[in-house]
Every structure is written in structure tokens, then in C-alpha cells.
């Protein structure tokens, strides 16, 4: 057996870290390992008995679930970049030292506080039904109205817009990171005759590298697990074309009471997300390390 050396500051035991993360070790056993094992076992049953990988076989051959996976990927692919851009832009503006900026910061976070509040669901109906405000607006500028709820693609985009509108939490993480950028960097840049745009690309963005990455990972996970927004806005329709995998799992678990299928599907979703996150780590690896 080869012995490994632990690169800690002198005088720090290799167990110090373990001690610090000890709450997590207990938590991991109780909140991660145990539910994972339990869920895996349940995923191997059809309810009445052990069926091996039947549920998995069924899922992989089911066209509906495949199209649901495609919907989920498409949803994440549209939402995540948009949300990162919007929340970063909002954070940049709200980080300025303007009078009354706190009021705006609070206002911009309100959609995230409202969440699935009834007001939001009804407001979306006023906006997107056939003679809703958005279509009226489209018509006044000479465009043809869109069948928001009835057309699969439009319906998915409408859900994206709801989640985009709730950009508050992502924005906050950006705000917290923006504050950590040393102001001297900007002052030095200004002395060098750097413009606002140059400063953004050569100082702000590189400094935010890590936090852009965590927001990317967190938002991707959240989007891939999405179930609440389609659940309340479209119920998965039209024709099940906005039924995300997350919604599928929720319905199998609670609406149809098929815990075996719900858990098997969860494991597949888990593996899919793990793959995506792994790729993200790999691709951004060199970018994140330097600087």
C-alpha cells in the first residue's frame, strides 16, 4: 500500500478536515446514502415483487419517456444560458451605488419570493392566453398572435419565461461575488485608460469565473429536475409535450403511486445529470484553474 501525504499547512492534522466535515458525514449517511440505497431497491420492484431491471428496460423502451427526456434537455438548454445572462446583467446594474438601489434589489427578487403563488399562475394566464396581453402587444406591432398554451414549442418557451422571471437567487449569488472583486483592479484599469466594456471583459468576467460555474451547475441541475413550473402552468400539455422528466417522476410517485417506476426513473435522471455535470467540470477545468 502506498501512503499518501496530505497537503495541509504545517501543524494541521490530516484529520482536521474530516472533523470539520463531520456534520456532513453524518448527514451524508442519513440524507444521501440511506435514501439512495432505499430508492435503488424500490426501483427494482414493480410493487408486488422484485423485478430486477424491468422498470429500467421499460423506461428505456418507452417513447413517451424518451420524448420527455428530449423536452427536459431542450428546456435546460434554452433556460440556463438565458437565466445566467439575465441574472448577471441584473446583478451588474444592481451592484451600482445609486440612491434607492435597495428598493430595486428587493423588487427584482420578488418573483422568486412569490414562487408558485396563485397570483403568478393567474398572471401568466392574463399574459399568454389567446387574447392575452402578450398577443395584443404582438398584434399592435404587426406580428401574428402565438398559440402559447396550445402549441408545444410555445408552451415550453412560456415555462422558460416564468423561470427566467424568477432569476433572483442566481442574481444574489452574482451580487455576493461582485462585491468580492477588489475595487483597486478597476481603478488600475481606469488609470490605464480602460473603458467600461473592456473592464467588464478583462476584470469582471475573469473574476466571476468560479461563480459563473457554480451558477451554471446549479441552474442546470434545477432545470433538469424541473417539475413545478410545467405542473402548474400547463399540466404537462399540450399532448404531454411539456412534461419534463421531473414531472414524470412526481406523477409516477404521487399521482399514480408507482414508487418502483418513480425511483427507477429518478436514478436514470440522476445519471443523466451526473453525466452533464461531469462534462461541465471537464470542459471548464482549465478555465477554472488559473487566475
* Range 75-94, binding another protein (CB under 8 A): 92-93
Which among 226, 121, 126, 114 is positioned nearest to 168, based on CA atoms? 114
Which one, 68 or 225, has the nearer CB to another protein? 225
Select the residue interacting with another protein from 67, 112, 202, 284 (CB under 8 A).
Answer: 112
The interface with another protein within residues 121-150 (CB under 8 A) comprises: 121-126, 128-131, 133, 147-150
Count of residues interacting with another protein (CB under 8 A)? 129
In the complex, what is the shortest distance from the CB of residue 65 to another protein, in angstroms, rounded to a whole number?
A: 14
Question: Shortest approach of another protein to residue 74 CB, angstroms?
Answer: 19
Looking up cell 432505499, which residue turns up?
Answer: 38
Binder among 194, 213, 280, 284 for another protein (CB under 8 A): 213
Q: Please state the closest distance from residue 83 (CB atom) to another protein, in A.
A: 15
Window 152-171: residues binding another protein (CB under 8 A):
165, 169
Neighbours of 91 (CB within 10 A): 23
Name the residue among 285, 101, 287, 280 with its Cα closest to residue 205: 287
Which among 54-62, 69-77, 199-207 is the span making contact with another protein, rule CB under 8 A? 199-207
Q: What is the 3-state secondary structure (H, E, C) of 71-140?
A: HHHHHHHHHHHHHHHHHHHHHHHHCCCCCCHHHHHHHHHHHHHHCCCHHHHHHHHHHHCCCCHHHHHHHH
Q: How far is CA 153 from CA 78, 84, 148, 186, 278, in A?
A: 12, 22, 8, 43, 29
Q: Does position 19 bind another protein by CB under 8 A?
A: yes
Chain mean position to CA 168: 12
Q: Which stretch binds another protein (CB under 8 A): 55-63, 70-78, 209-217?
A: 209-217
Amino acid at each position: 500500500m502506498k501512503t499518501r501525504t496530505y497537503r495541509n499547512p504545517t501543524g494541521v492534522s490530516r484529520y482536521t478536515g474530516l472533523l470539520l466535515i463531520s456534520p456532513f458525514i453524518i448527514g451524508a449517511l442519513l440524507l444521501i446514502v440511506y435514501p439512495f440505497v432505499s430508492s435503488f431497491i424500490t426501483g427494482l420492484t414493480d410493487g408486488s415483487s422484485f423485478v430486477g431491471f424491468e422498470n429500467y428496460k421499460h423506461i428505456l423502451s418507452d417513447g413517451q419517456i424518451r420524448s420527455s427526456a428530449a423536452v427536459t434537455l431542450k428546456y435546460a438548454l434554452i433556460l440556463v444560458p438565458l437565466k445566467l445572462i439575465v441574472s448577471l446583467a441584473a446583478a451588474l446594474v444592481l451592484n451600482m451605488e445609486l440612491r434607492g438601489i435597495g428598493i430595486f434589489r428587493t423588487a427584482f427578487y420578488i418573483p422568486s419570493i412569490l414562487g408558485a403563488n396563485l397570483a403568478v399562475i393567474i398572471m401568466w394566464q392574463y399574459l399568454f392566453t389567446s387574447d392575452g396581453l402578450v398577443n395584443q402587444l404582438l398584434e399592435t406591432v404587426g406580428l401574428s398572435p402565438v398559440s402559447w398554451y396550445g402549441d408545444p414549442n410555445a408552451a415550453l418557451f412560456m415555462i422558460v419565461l416564468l423561470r427566467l422571471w424568477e432569476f433572483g437567487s442566481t442574481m444574489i449569488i452574482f451580487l455576493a461575488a461582485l462585491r468580492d472583486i477588489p475595487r483597486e483592479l478597476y481603478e488600475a484599469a481606469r488609470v490605464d485608460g480602460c473603458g467600461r466594456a473592456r473592464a467588464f471583459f478583462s476584470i469582471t468576467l475573469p473574476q466571476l469565473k468560479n461563480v459563473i460555474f457554480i451558477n451554471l451547475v446549479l441552474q442546470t441541475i434545477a432545470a433538469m429536475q424541473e417539475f413545478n413550473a410545467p405542473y402548474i402552468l400547463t399540466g404537462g400539455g399540450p399532448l404531454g409535450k411539456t412534461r419534463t422528466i421531473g414531472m414524470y417522476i412526481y406523477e409516477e410517485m404521487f399521482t399514480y403511486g408507482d414508487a418502483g417506476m418513480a425511483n427507477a426513473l429518478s436514478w436514470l435522471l440522476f445519471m443523466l445529470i451526473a453525466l452533464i455535470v461531469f462534462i461541465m467540470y471537464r470542459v471548464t477545468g482549465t478555465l477554472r484553474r488559473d487566475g
